Amino acid sequence: MNLAVRDIRHSLGRFVLTTIGVGMLLMVVMGMGGIYRGLVDDALVVTRGVGADLWVVQRDTRGPFAEVSRLPRSLVDRIAAVPGVTDAREFVLHTIQREHRGKPLRMGVLGLGWPTDKGEGLPLIAGRPLAQNHFEMIADESLGLGLGERLRLGKDTYTVVGLTRWLVASGGDGIACFTSRDAQAIQFHEPGESIRLERQARRARADEIDFGRTQPGVLDRASGPAQSLAALPSPAISAVIARLMPGTDPASVQRSMSGWSDVTTYTGPQQEELLLKGSVDRARRQILLFRVLLTIISAVIMALIIYTLTLDKLHPIALLKLIGAPTHVIAGLILQQSLIMGVLAYGVGYLIGTRLFPLFPRRVLVSNDDLLRLAGIVLVISVLASLLGIWKAMRVAPNEAIG
């Protein structure tokens, strides 16, 4: 019988508990890698989902994912007229938090450029895209909203007509999609008392100048709705996304817009790079650092466990030497035990992780490449961990079996 297997059967309970403990630690290593990949994938899901070839943002800003970007709505028509651009759409993105069913509901609000974009490209799992310009929404399932459910945001009530999966903002909040007009209505909604006070303030300012005192109609107009005042611009959008004709070089279109003093343009890959190096960069680096530390800790713990198991076998090892057992038999005993523990612990970690990871509040995206890479790391750790035990076993004198 194999000596490693016989020794494991001799202390089966301790070996099983030790393997489970190491497996839980490897599960955490898998989880940290999955959280890292999930964080990156969640951050890019919107930029990749809208299918933009060019992002046009406010001058000298890094885009709506990194900082506030405000552009006039009229910019959409100007960009659509640029040679090489097949269509241009509004892009509105902001975050809100409301109370729903007595609990806080935090969501990202994404405005779709109606009627060009009705949400057909979203990862729908139920329902349909938007069918009208107002009062409909598509919600991610993480928000806990059901099909047909009605949600009041601002002064309007919206009906959930579609559900998506894993459509989240870079912060992990589920995204709800509206038309850009509705998204702006939600973003710039003010309470009735606030609107009344603002109208009174406008009327007071108009009454203080000669033009207001000589033109009574100006006072009436100043105390009316803001959209009736020509001097006040319409609500700003976050960015304009443009799709290019097949075969068009994005750099040439960027050069065409380089002379515009009010905007900055980025290609799709450039916007993704800015996003990863901006709002999620620190979180990515921190998770990666924890993953490296956990891997090192796993190696140290396995080395100490193998070393401890070797200490418990010093007398049998000395007896083996006394009866003339070759050195490679003793080294193989320790190495095989270490490899068996590593393989079983990896399996335990994987099985437990597949049950627990779906319960995490944020997506844990464990890829096959990560699993293969971790399996290779576990094998290397098992071999390195056995070296300390082998070193100790080689220093045992045969006469210690008699003593």
- Rounded average pLDDT over 207-231: 56
In this predicted structure, which of 117-121, 241-245, 311-315 has the lowest mean pLDDT? 311-315
pTM: 0.72
> Does residue 207 have a pLDDT over 70?
no
Q: What local confidence, expressed as pLDDT, does residue 201 receive? A: 67
Neighbours of 55 (CB within 10 A): 27
Q: What local confidence, expressed as pLDDT, does residue 49 receive? A: 78
> Does residue 227 have a pLDDT over 60?
no
Rounded to whole angstroms, the Cα distance separating 237 from 197 reads 25
Q: What local confidence, expressed as pLDDT, does residue 176 receive? A: 94
Residues 6+ apart with CB under 8 A from 356: 27, 31
Q: Are 131 and 161 in contact (CB under 8 A)?
A: yes
Q: What local confidence, expressed as pLDDT, does residue 5 receive? A: 75
DSSP 134-192: SSEEEEEGGG---TT-EEEETTEEEEEEEEESS-B-TTS-BEEEEEHHHHHHHHT---H
Q: What local confidence, expressed as pLDDT, does residue 189 receive? A: 77
3-state secondary structure of 206: helix
Q: What local confidence, expressed as pLDDT, does residue 199 receive? A: 63
Rounded to whole angstroms, the Cα distance separating 30 from 382 reads 17
Q: What local confidence, expressed as pLDDT, does residue 1 receive? A: 41
Q: What local confidence, expressed as pLDDT, does residue 214 receive? A: 53
Taking alpha carbons only, the member of 186, 181, 140 closest to residue 163 is 140
Rounded to whole angstroms, the Cα distance separating 268 from 256 reads 17
> Does residue 229 have a pLDDT over 60?
no
What is the per-residue pLDDT across 323-377, written as a single tens digit (0 to 9) for each? 777 777 778 878 888 888 889 999 999 999 999 998 888 888 888 898 999 899 8
Where are the chain's structural domains? 3-43+281-401, 49-276
- Rounded average pLDDT over 306-314: 74
Report the share of the chain in percent with pLDDT over 90.
20
> What would the two tokens of residue 100 be?
């729903």
Query: b/e per residue, 249-277, with b = 16+ CB within 10 A?
Result: ebeebbeebeeeeebbbbbbebbbebbbe
> Does residue 163 have a pLDDT over 70?
yes
Q: Mean pLDDT over all residues of the chain? A: 82
Q: What are phi and psi of 137, to 5 degrees?
A: -150, 155
Q: Are 349 and 23 in contact (CB under 8 A)?
A: yes
In terms of DSSP bridges, do strands 263-267 and 175-179 run parallel, antiparallel, or are they unpaired? Answer: unpaired
Most confident range (mean pLDDT) of 145-149, 199-203, 267-271, 379-383 is 145-149
> Does residue 153 have a pLDDT over 80?
yes
> Does residue 315 have a pLDDT over 60?
yes
Place of tokens 């335990």: 348
pLDDT band at 147 (very low <50, low <70, confident <90, very high): very high
Q: Are 202 and 50 in contact (CB under 8 A)?
A: no
In terms of DSSP bridges, do strands 103-112 and 239-244 run parallel, antiparallel, or are they unpaired? Answer: unpaired
Burial of 369 (0-12, 13-18, 19+ CB in 10 A): exposed
pLDDT band at 22 (very low <50, low <70, confident <90, very high): confident
Measured in Å, how far apart are the chain's first and last C-alpha atoms?
27
pLDDT band at 143 (very low <50, low <70, confident <90, very high): very high
Q: Are 125 and 163 in contact (CB under 8 A)?
A: yes
Residue, of 222 and 242, whose pLDDT is higher: 242
> Does residue 172 have a pLDDT over 90?
no
Query: b/e per residue, 83-114, with b = 16+ CB within 10 A?
Result: ebbeebbbbbbbebeeeeeeeebebbbbbbbb
Enclosing H/E stretch for 295: helix 281-312
Q: Are 182 and 156 in contact (CB under 8 A)?
A: yes
What is the per-residue pLDDT across 249-284, written as a single tens digit (0 to 9) for each? 888 898 888 888 889 999 988 888 888 877 677 877
Residues 6+ apart with CB under 8 A from 252: 84
CA of residue 309 relative to chain centroid, distance: 42
Q: What local confidence, expressed as pLDDT, does residue 352 receive? A: 93
Taking alpha carbons only, the member of 186, 139, 193 closest to residue 164 is 139
Rounded to whole angstroms, the Cα distance separating 179 from 102 reads 27
Angle between helices 12-49 and 281-312 (to 10 degrees): 170
> What would the two tokens of residue 131 be?
């069918």
Q: What local confidence, expressed as pLDDT, does residue 148 receive? A: 92
Residue, of 196 and 144, whose pLDDT is higher: 144
What is the per-residue pLDDT across 75-121, written as a single tens digit (0 to 9) for each? 888 998 899 999 898 888 888 988 888 888 999 999 988 888 888 88
Q: What local confidence, expressed as pLDDT, does residue 113 receive? A: 84
